[in-house]
Amino acid sequence: MLTKIDAEELLEQLYATAEVLGSEIKPAAASLMIRDLRQYERGEVEQALARCRSEISGRLTLAAILERIPSADAFLSPNEAWALALSGEDDMDTIVWTEEVATAMGAARPVLDIGDKVGARMAFIGAYEREVSKAKAEGRTPKWQVSLGYSPERRQDAISEAIKKGRMEAPQVEHLLPSPHGFKEPDAETPPEEKARVQANIQHLRSLLDDDTDAKAEAEAERRRKEDARRQELIKQAEDRKRGAA
């Protein structure tokens, strides 16, 4: 996000870049361009302007700058998004996806559930492209979120991979990782009173973790029951429409 000082200094760089390219930008147009760039980091915008100076000729446009800002095109391609959505078909798997992927999969789900994978892919891509276009028009970047599966091991793998790819921050999702089972037990040299106190604390922590895990499992099971009921309703509607068309 650009600060006021960043915006003022980038405005000067914008004028200079346009001049290097042999064109001019009116103050009103330049101010609008800076306003449209305010959601990005200053370093990214400066690098994009530098690339514009070396890669293009003629008029400097906002589109040319945005094409050279990595985070401006942070959305997955439609095919990448479809592959990601399919990876969450197994209830045991945890999937880390964006709101746009989740929404598009919701649109494709009724078609996929009746066995038409080709039609489902077409429905997904159409919905995904609309959602991404809407997000870009509103100046939004991808917001990654976690849909938990039942397998603790796969959950840890999926979340760890998302952290490695920079899609999520560790503090944001560490509470979703499987609860630790190994606590350091007191050794043989620990005094009896201290040993009893430590073991009591360990038992208490284990009970808290177990209670929390059970509550999360129940909540997730209820969510999936509602999803399944909604899915069946959509399948029925799709079949009714198909019979009506016939």
pLDDT of 220-230, one tens digit each?
A: 677 777 777 77
pLDDT of 172-193, one tens digit each?
A: 666 676 655 444 455 666 677 7
* pLDDT(214) > 60: no
Where do we find the tokens 């197994």?
A: 90
Task: Supply the mean pLDDT for the chain.
Answer: 81
Q: How far apart are CA 68 and CA 72, in angstroms?
A: 8
pLDDT of residue 211: 52
Q: How far apart are CA 165 and CA 126, in angstroms?
A: 26
pLDDT of 81-91, one tens digit each?
A: 999 999 888 88
* pLDDT(244) > 50: yes
CA-atom Rg of the chain in angstroms: 26
Of 5 and 173, the one with more pLDDT: 5
The whole-model pTM stands at 0.52
Residue 145, strand partner residues: 97
Annotate 144-157 with b (16+ C-beta within 10 A) or e (fewer).
bbbbbbebbebbee
Q: How far apart are CA 212 and CA 226, in angstroms?
A: 21
